Structure 1
Amino acid sequence: MIKIDKKHSGVFAAGVLFGTAGIKLLSSKDAKKVYTNCTAAVLRAKDCVMKTVSKVQENAEDIYAEAQQINEDRAAAEEAFEDTAEEENFKETEETAAEEE
């Protein structure tokens, strides 16, 4: 004889009933309105996030361009300083050579 467990049968029946009711509930017009409103909210949030990302990218590009300009200016100043130092060193060498003669 097969034993039927009433507890397990009840749980199974409740699951089937809940599943069937859940499918009907999820496919109702009210549920569709909720899904539509949630999707619209997500799209608005996406637009807000994308605007923020664009601002951050613009600021990062500005910072990068300014940093490059600072480095170029610094390199030019160092080059000018080195050229001046070389000219002074060359003049001192000429003067020392002229004195020795």
Structure 2
Amino acid sequence: MIKWNTIGKVACGFLIGTAGVKVLSSKDAKKCYTHLTAAAYRCKDTVMETYTSIKENCQDIDADAKAINEERYAKEREQEIADAKAVLERSQAESANA
């Protein structure tokens, strides 16, 4: 038994598909695709500018943070040296008094 309903659906799909190809390849459709592609490129350019700006800011923050840490470590080393000299002077003074 032939299912005419199924054959009708297949034929209708074929006709719609053929008409769809014609519509999608028309001059107006191509013009629309061109404008959409141009908009996508503009969007990409904007995103890349934002990315570059954020990247530069992050690099500046990183450099400043490293400089702050280097200064802090230098101060800590100076304090350790000063503490060691104070301990040494105290021990020398105690040994001289003894």
The TM-score normalised by the length of structure 1 is: 0.94
Matches of residues 51-70 of structure 1 in structure 2 within 5 Å? Answer: 51-70=49-68
User: Counterpart of 1:38 in structure 2: which amino acid?
Assistant: L
1:45-73, Cα deviation, whole Å (9 max, x unpaired) = 00000000001100100110010001000
- Is 1:75 the equivalent of 2:46? no
Q: Distance in 2 between matches of 1:21 and 1:42?
A: 27
1:10 deviates by 1.1
1:9 deviates by 1.4
Q: How many residues align?
A: 98
Q: Distance in 2 between matches of 1:40 and 1:93?
A: 79
2:94 matched to which residue of 1? 96
Report the identity percentage.
Answer: 44
1:55-98, Cα deviation, whole Å (9 max, x unpaired) = 11001001100100010000000011011111111110110000
Poorly superposed stretches of 4+, deviation over 4 Å: none
The TM-score normalised by the length of structure 2 is: 0.97
Alignment RMSD? 0.6
Q: Distance in 2 between matches of 1:88 and 1:15?
A: 94
1:4 deviates by 2.0
Give the SS at the match of 2:2: coil
Q: Distance in 2 between matches of 1:89 and 1:5?
A: 103
In the alignment, structure 1 segments of 5+ residues that lack a partner are none
